[in-house]
Chains A and B, each alone.
Chain A
């Protein structure tokens, strides 16, 4: 049981990143942490009944939306003013990863979200309740991360919708290139890339003439979006306070999933400038190896998203972005726009991911539309554009 999670997170990452300067302080703090198990950040969660966390966070989310969205049925969030005849976009998944997925409902974004319990897929009745509410006669596109539980429950939700003659299509998000080879995309997980993908599909859904058209755009956005993540320390399960996974002390999980699913390798903790090129290289390799997509090449325009899994700070993200930009520029890739921040999280998990979306004229058009939600807002156009 040598996991880093016993030590306050900010200290553990200092030890890992700069083993010499904080050596003595870390020993003392480590002893304190072991003698007083409450002396960890993640044990101090400001919650009420641990079993009601998901319900209460959705209530708070409705308050945060301040009238823009409402709660529907058991535990869904839906926009209040979806126009008749609009092709609808529904997202969803387990709670506990805020601000996604339910924070991505909003102006020029998703029309609704089916919210599961903490780290659990939403049951079919919740999916169906959300579907019924967002459907305005032109059908509903389900757009969510490729996890077994989500697929099972959304599929049953789609069958319930079919019983009521609501047309549903599904596009799965599988941007995590470390979760399976390009020939087995059906085994890949959806991670941070879902934010740009939902942003693009949400914009397209405003003017999409048909469910076919929106489905095609969403598929293109998924195909052109690839991510690589790294885990440095676990988050804590709200109901139990237990860590979501364990890592050997001093090691980080390259390609590890946001719930601790295995990735490419566990490697010693290193510096931002050592780690970033490794991660960017994995993304390039994937575009190269995948027969369904062209390799990234000189002159391509990309959107880059640097995500924090929760505890990793904006300071660290900025340091990583600086190196990532250098890696891309070196290869002649243009950074078309930048997203940065903790949008796809797993409680106080320490970790970072890079997502690259290759932009063509159609994707740029939808990217440049303004959007607003609790999770992600932008003005018209792009930074520097």
Chain B
């Protein structure tokens, strides 16, 4: 039986589950990034998520937004590079927009993905189609707006589906940002590593809410 909405403590547990899943996926992310970038995305995300677990374990939360802001700050401080800045911005901007909420329902999920995506696009300057994490995030945010009146378990499942489809679509894009841009058409046929991470994050959030 899936959940209608999550408390702040459940939201924290959900993000710990996300951290575990990303750490487990390190070899997948490393492979994805080695194909297109410099191969450091998996190790960077693993380092970031270890810091996230440490930060979440040491704090009690009443605001769901603060959970995400704490995730963002931990990633930003520990990862460095461009991915630390953009993933940190995703969670900080998304979390800031719902920092007064005590529960994480579909409406909060929609706001989180919308504001987080806006933050990433403003910060990094990536547009849809540039073969970046935005290509998984933007469809997720758009889907979130459509399902904002549903139970959070259903909403997150729909958001995760959109993120996965976005990740798959990134295979057919030519990279124009970051180090992968130097590959041009050689970047075709492989998904963007950041988009792979976003899809894993959304899927784990959905799985948690469904249980």
Contact = CB atoms under 8 A, between A and B. Distances in A.
Interface stretch (A145-153, A207-215, A362-370, A376-384): A145-153
B85 A152 contact: yes
A152 B79 CA distance: 13
Nearest to B48: A123
Given A120-B40, A156-B89, A261-B182, A149 B77 contact: no
A123 B77 contact: yes
Given A152-B123, A153-B85, A124 B76 contact: yes
A261 B181 CA distance: 10
B149 to A, nearest CB: 34
Contacts of A125: 76-77
Contact of B80 (A120, A148, A155, A262): A120
Given A120-B40, A261-B182, A152 B80 contact: no
Contacts of B123: 152, 155-156
Interface string B168-195: 0000000001110010000000000000
Interface string B128-153: 00000000000000000000000000
Given A120-B40, A123-B84, A148 B178 contact: yes
B199 interface: no
Interface in A117-172: 117, 119-126, 148-149, 152-153, 155-156
Contacts of A262: 182
A121 B89 contact: no
A289 to B, nearest CB: 23
A121 B76 contact: no
Nearest to B75: A123
Contacts of B77: 74, 123-125
A229 interface: no
A8 interface: no
B80 A123 contact: yes
Given A123-B77, A123-B78, A125-B77, A156 B85 contact: yes
Contacts of B78: 123
B182 A149 contact: no
B178 to A, nearest CB: 6
B178 A123 contact: no
What interface size band does chain A fall in? 20 to 34
A106 interface: no
B84 A153 contact: yes
Given A156-B89, A261-B182, A262-B182, A149 B82 contact: yes
Nearest to A115: B80
B76 A123 contact: yes
A153 B89 CA distance: 10
Interface in B24-59: 38, 40, 44
A117 B77 CA distance: 12
Contacts of A342: none
A126 B84 CA distance: 13
Given A149-B85, A152-B85, A117 B80 contact: yes
A152 B182 contact: no
Contacts of A122: 80
Q: Which of B38, B85, B88, B123 has the most CB of A within 10 A?
A: B85
Contacts of B40: 120
B147 to A, nearest CB: 31
28 contacts: A116-B80, A117-B80, A120-B40, A120-B44, A121-B81, A121-B85, A122-B80, A123-B77, A123-B79, A124-B77, A125-B77, A126-B80, A148-B82, A148-B177, A148-B178, A149-B80, A149-B82, A149-B85, A152-B85, A152-B86, A153-B81, A153-B84, A153-B85, A155-B123, A156-B76, A156-B89, A156-B123, A261-B182
Given A120-B44, A120-B81, 11 more contacts: A74-B77, A116-B81, A119-B38, A121-B85, A122-B80, A123-B76, A126-B80, A148-B82, A148-B124, A152-B85, A156-B88
Which 10 pairs from chain A and chain B are nearest by CB?
A: A152-B85, A149-B82, A120-B81, A120-B80, A125-B77, A123-B80, A149-B81, A153-B85, A262-B182, A116-B80
